[in-house]
Structure formats: C-alpha cells, structure tokens
C-alpha cells in the first residue's frame, strides 16, 4: 500500500464545495480520491522538496439530515495510508436544515524551543477538540493565524544564520542567494510537514473541513511591523525571499492552492483575503500580513476588494477573521514611551502589530465603521443577524463588544481564542502586561455613542489565561452561543444577541 508524505487536508471553499489535498512522494505519477464511491482525478498543484502537492475539489449535495462522508486516496491506482496508518477518512456533511457547529482556534505552535520543552502536554487541546468532534461533530474549523511557527528559521537555515550575524547596514545591502532560496523552500516545506504531521493535529485536519488565514508567525514573528527607515529592513532582499517562501507554502497548505474559489484576488495575489458563504454565515478572512507595513495594515487596493466583499455580505450572520484583536488592551502609553527612545526595543514590533498602535488607529476606526454599517444593512433584512470578529495572537481568551447607540443599539462582538498549543503568558509576564496597559472602555466618536470594551464571559474572568479553543453554535433561542474550551477546566460561554 502506498504512503502519503503529509495529509490529507480537508478544506471548505464554498457552501457545498470541499477540497482534499495531500503531499505524495516525487515518484507519484497520478492520484485520485474516491469519495462516497465516486473516483475523482487529483491535479498536481506544485512540486516541493518532499514531493508533489495534489488537490481534488468535490461538490456536495446535502440531504435534509446530516450524514457522514467517506473518502480514500489513491496514488498511481493504489490505496494510500497516512502517517498514522489510516487509509480511509470520514467527515460530517451537515444537513440542509442543520444548525452547524463551528470550531475556532489559533496559535498552533511554540514561539521558542524552551516553551515546547517546558509544556507537559503540548497538544492536549487538540485531543480535547477531537473528543468534542466525536460527541458533536464540527461542520467547519476556522483557524485564525499562526497555524505554524516559523521563528526557528533564524537558527536552522544556515544561510540566514550567517546573514543574521552581519551588521544592519550590510544586512540591508546583501542580496539573497540561490542557496538561501533553496534552503528557505526546504525549511517551510519541512515546517508544515513536521508541525501538521503531529498525529493529534493531522487526525482532525483530515476529518474536519477547515478554512484558514495566516498571521505573523506563519512567516516569522512581527512580519510587517519592522522599520522601513532609516535602514529599510522590512524591504530588504532577504526579507523578500523569506516572504516568497512563506507565502508559497501558506498558499499550498493553508489555502489549499490558488485554485481556492473563495480568494478575493486569485489572479494578482496581492493579498490572500477570502470570503465564503456557509449555512447562513458569511465568512470574511482579512489578510493582515501581505501588505502590512508600519504605516498600514491593508493596502488601498486590498481595502477596495474588502469593501466589495462586505457589500456582497448583505444577509445572514457575518464572521470576520482578523488575527490581531480589534478590541483589546490599550498599549499606547508603552508605545509612546518606547517611541521616545532612539533605539528599537525587542518588543517594539509586538506593540506596532496591534490595531491600537498610533499608526493603525485610523485604519482600525475605518474597519469598525465598515462593520457597523454592514451590520445595520443586514439587520434591515433580519433583525436577528449577528456580527462576530474572530481573533487570536495574544495567547489568552477574551470577549469584546463594539456597541453603537446612534440609532437604537447595534452590537459587533469579538471572540479571542488563543492558543490551542501556545501557552498563555506566565504570571510574571501577565503582571507586566497589566502594568503597562489598560482595558478602559473606549469611545470612538465625539458623541460617545460608539463604545468598545472587553466584557466578562459567563463562568469565567475577563481574561482566560489558559490554552483554549472556541465553538460557535446558533441556539434555538436565536442567540449565537460562543463557548471557550479551556485546558484548566473553565467553561466560559456567552450568548451573542
């Protein structure tokens, strides 16, 4: 029996359109997927150092009741096993009238090796997610950033390690070499194969349809928030080839290739934002990394496409994936203090990453106003429709709300779930964050009618300082129930009305 190098990866790209992708060895000449008895030919999307990346697209025909769909992969006509020895996989196809259950997670890795070695059960939250899926199957798993952690590239890619030892002026001048490009290509391919090859992760990526958007660690920590002057480190040639390699494998593994029909810019690929409709939900994922600089989060042309996508979201519930929280603690005092110094502190890029950084405040206000305007349009058709921002990044869970009282009461909520693998800040680190920041309520207009603040979920404190993932389910009470599943046993929940 043949063996897969990595996968399968099950994706959702439209209301009834699913993708199945996998990595097969370089000797594989042809591949297919047998799904519910029908054989579909797979197309090779790319060659990688580990072999060919293959893809199949399948259109479902849901019945009134939910059902289980089984699929099998064939390599050169021979059934193939995954790394765990499985040769058949199943997933839940929701019925046409079913209230779908959606999972959400982020931060699937460790930012340094010490964190990994000091965490007793690194992937226990994936086991908990698996147990939830076995009891009440998920129809979709959304992942909101840092699906892999690439920060080890500085010490494991030999040419980068040597480049990193140069002084700043020489770094910026130095051109990337063919050897560096090849080593980076191998690095990112190996990274996905290793981190997603973990049995706890691989099992669910093959059995729950997923849709993903990247954040900085999928490239490396702080991407886009490094200074453009006086040295222009962000624009140097070495950073260019790092981004090229990272984006190549993000498109393959997370987006399941540029054939993904949900992409907003599939031809130019100036960014990777996407939109899909699924069972009464409009889901819009914002790529906040492709065009990020110190001065912007998204480019003007990207904003044009985001605005068009929002205009198309004119009915149903809206879920918006934005990796860094839009509503969170205020770091402006700390940012101002560091800006007053003549040097770059180690944490400067983390501060500049936040939406409330001074250079991003105007763009943040623009995003919030667009979401409020969109929510108001959808509410004219259905007063019960919800708007929810899904975020990660900060390694705690929390709940935010933007409340607009200009014409009645309109709420846009934000759920933060982080991380499913990355540990929360230590008590010492958390005390430092609390000391340097505040979470006072914020008013976004001069009439003080638009207010943003963090609120406390039921059964938990404001901040869930524990590893977690979240679930979403529309209740019979017409409330969207958000639930955090926590490593420390907390059962936090909140009904979004």
In angstroms, the CA 443 to CA 404 distance is 10
In angstroms, the CA 18 to CA 250 distance is 18
Q: At what angle do helices 361-381 and 300-312 cross, to 10 degrees?
A: 20
Nearest CA to 378 among 251, 468, 277, 456? 277
Whether 40 and 140 map to the same domain: the answer is no
For residue 346, pLDDT over 60 is answered with no
Q: List, edge to edge, every strand of the sheet that includes 274-278.
A: 274-278, 281-285, 317-321, 387-391, 410-416, 398-404, 450-455, 442-443
Enter the DSSP assignment of 175.
Answer: P
Q: pLDDT exceeding 70 applies to what percent of the chain?
A: 98
Whether 266 and 304 map to the same domain: the answer is yes
Strand boundaries in 76-139, DSSP class E = 78-81, 89-93, 101-105
The confidence band for 103, taking pLDDT boundaries of 50, 70 and 90, is: very high
- Altogether, the residues listed in the chain come to a count of 497
Residue with tokens 């043949």: 2
Whether 69 and 130 map to the same domain: the answer is no
Q: Indicate the average pLDDT of the chain.
A: 95
Query: What is the per-residue pLDDT for 233?
Result: 87
Reported as a single tens digit per residue, the pLDDT across 434-472 is 999 999 999 999 999 999 999 999 999 999 999 999 999
In angstroms, the CA 227 to CA 214 distance is 21
Enter the DSSP assignment of 185.
Answer: H
Return the CATH number at 287: 3.60.21.10
Whether 346 and 267 map to the same domain: the answer is yes
Report the pLDDT averaged over residues 147-176: 96
The confidence band for 149, taking pLDDT boundaries of 50, 70 and 90, is: very high
Alpha helices in 354-476 (DSSP H): 361-381, 427-436
Tally of CB atoms within 10 A around 237: 15
Whether 51 and 156 map to the same domain: the answer is no
Reported as a single tens digit per residue, the pLDDT across 380-432 is 999 999 999 999 999 999 999 999 999 999 999 999 999 999 999 999 999 99
For residue 341, pLDDT over 70 is answered with no
Query: What is the per-residue pLDDT for 347?
Result: 57
Whether 235 and 179 map to the same domain: the answer is yes
Reported as a single tens digit per residue, the pLDDT across 60-71 is 999 999 999 999
Which residues touch 65 (CB under 8 Å, ≥6 apart)? Answer: 95, 98
Whether 277 and 322 map to the same domain: the answer is yes
Q: pTM here?
A: 0.97
Query: What is the per-residue pLDDT for 20?
Result: 98
Contact 482, 493 (CB under 8 A): yes
The confidence band for 334, taking pLDDT boundaries of 50, 70 and 90, is: confident
Domain count along the chain: 2
Query: What is the per-residue pLDDT for 339?
Result: 73
In angstroms, the CA 449 to CA 4 distance is 56
Query: What is the per-residue pLDDT for 232?
Result: 83
For 296, the token pair is 């912007």
The confidence band for 342, taking pLDDT boundaries of 50, 70 and 90, is: low
Whether 62 and 202 map to the same domain: the answer is no
Whether 209 and 86 map to the same domain: the answer is no
Of 95, 127, 151, the domain-final residue: 95
Q: What residues pair up with 486 in beta bridges, in sequence order?
A: 468
Residue with tokens 């981190």: 195
Whether 78 and 104 map to the same domain: the answer is no
Report the pLDDT averaged over residues 470-479: 96
The pairing of strands 468-474 and 101-105 is antiparallel
Nearest CA to 127 among 61, 55, 199? 199
Whether 43 and 126 map to the same domain: the answer is no
Reported as a single tens digit per residue, the pLDDT across 299-308 is 999 999 999 9
In angstroms, the CA 78 to CA 262 distance is 32
The confidence band for 349, taking pLDDT boundaries of 50, 70 and 90, is: low
The confidence band for 335, taking pLDDT boundaries of 50, 70 and 90, is: confident
For residue 117, pLDDT over 80 is answered with yes
Residue with tokens 């130019």: 268
Give the lowest-confidence range in 77-86, 241-250, 335-344.
335-344
In angstroms, the CA 36 to CA 200 distance is 25
For residue 345, pLDDT over 60 is answered with no
Whether 119 and 56 map to the same domain: the answer is no
For 169, the token pair is 């002026």
Q: At what angle do helices 237-249 and 178-195 cross, to 10 degrees?
A: 40
For 91, the token pair is 């997933």
Tally of CB atoms within 10 A around 303: 18
Sign of torsion over alpha carbons 74, 78, 83, 84: positive
DSSP 3-state percent helix, strand, coil across the chain (nearest 5): 30, 30, 45
For 154, the token pair is 């500085």
- The H or E element containing residue 158 is helix 158-164
| Residue 160 vs residues 171, 175, 182, 185, 487: alpha-carbon distances, Å | 10, 12, 12, 12, 36
Query: What is the per-residue pLDDT for 397?
Result: 98
Range of the domain at 178: 99-496
Reported as a single tens digit per residue, the pLDDT across 252-267 is 999 999 999 999 999 9
Query: What is the per-residue pLDDT for 230?
Result: 63
Return the CATH number at 76: 2.60.40.10
For 275, the token pair is 């939109």
Query: What is the per-residue pLDDT for 226?
Result: 87
């Amino acid at each position: 029996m043949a063996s897969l190098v990595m996968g399968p990866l099950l994706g959702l790209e439209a209301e009834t359109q699913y993708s199945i992708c996998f990595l097969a060895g370089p000797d594989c000449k042809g591949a297919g997927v047998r799904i519910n008895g029908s054989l579909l030919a797979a197309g090779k999307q790319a060659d990688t150092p580990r072999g060919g990346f293959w893809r199949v697209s399948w259109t479902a025909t849901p019945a009134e009741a939910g059902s289980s769909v089984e699929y099998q992969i064939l390599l050169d006509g021979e059934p193939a096993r995954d790394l765990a020895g499985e040769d058949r996989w199943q997933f839940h196809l929701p019925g046409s009238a079913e209230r779908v259950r959606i999972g959400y997670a982020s931060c699937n890795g460790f930012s340094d090796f010490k964190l990994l070695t000091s965490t007793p059960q690194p992937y226990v939250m994936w086991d908990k997610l698996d147990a939830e899926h076995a009891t009440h199957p998920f129809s979709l798993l959304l992942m909101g950033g840092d699906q892999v952690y690439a920060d080890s590239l500085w010490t494991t890619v030999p040419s980068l390690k040597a480049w990193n030892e140069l002084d700043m002026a020489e770094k910026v001048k130095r051109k990337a070499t063919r050897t560096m490009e090849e080593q980076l290509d191998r690095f990112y391919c190996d990274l996905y194969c290793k981190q997603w090859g973990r049995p706890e992760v691989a099992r669910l990526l093959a059995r729950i349809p997923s849709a993903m958007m990247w954040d900085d660690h999928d490239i490396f920590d702080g991407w886009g928030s490094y200074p453009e002057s006086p040295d222009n480190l962000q624009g140097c040639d070495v950073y260019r080839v790092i981004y090229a390699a990272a984006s190549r494998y993000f498109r393959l593994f997370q987006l399941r290739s540029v054939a993904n029909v949900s992409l907003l810019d599939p031809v130019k690929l100036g960014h990777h934002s996407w939109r899909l409709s699924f069972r009464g939900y409009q889901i819009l994922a914002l790529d906040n990394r492709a065009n990020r600089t110190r001065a912007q989060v998204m480019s003007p042309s990207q904003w044009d496409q985001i605005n068009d996508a929002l205009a198309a979201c004119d009915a149903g519930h809206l879920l918006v994936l934005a990796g860094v929280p839009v509503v969170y603690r205020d770091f402006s005092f700390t940012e101002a203090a560091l800006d007053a110094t003549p040097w770059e502190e180690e944490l400067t890029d983390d501060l500049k990453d936040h939406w409330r950084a001074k250079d991003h405040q105007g763009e943040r206000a623009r995003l919030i106003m667009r979401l409020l305007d969109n929510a108001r349009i959808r509410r004219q058709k259905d007063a019960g429709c919800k708007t929810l921002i899904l975020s990660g990044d900060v390694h705690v869970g929390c709940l935010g709300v933007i409340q607009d009282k200009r014409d009645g009461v309109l709420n846009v909520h934000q759920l933060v779930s982080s991380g499913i693998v990355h540990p929360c800040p230590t008590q010492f680190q958390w005390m430092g964050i609390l000391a340097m920041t505040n979470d006072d309520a914020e008013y976004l207009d001069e009439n003080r009618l638009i207010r943003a603040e963090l609120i406390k979920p039921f059964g938990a404190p404001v901040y869930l300082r524990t590893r977690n993932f979240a679930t979403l389910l529309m209740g019979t009470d017409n409330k969207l129930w958000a639930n955090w599943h926590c490593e420390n046993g907390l059962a936090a929940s909140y009904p979004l009305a």
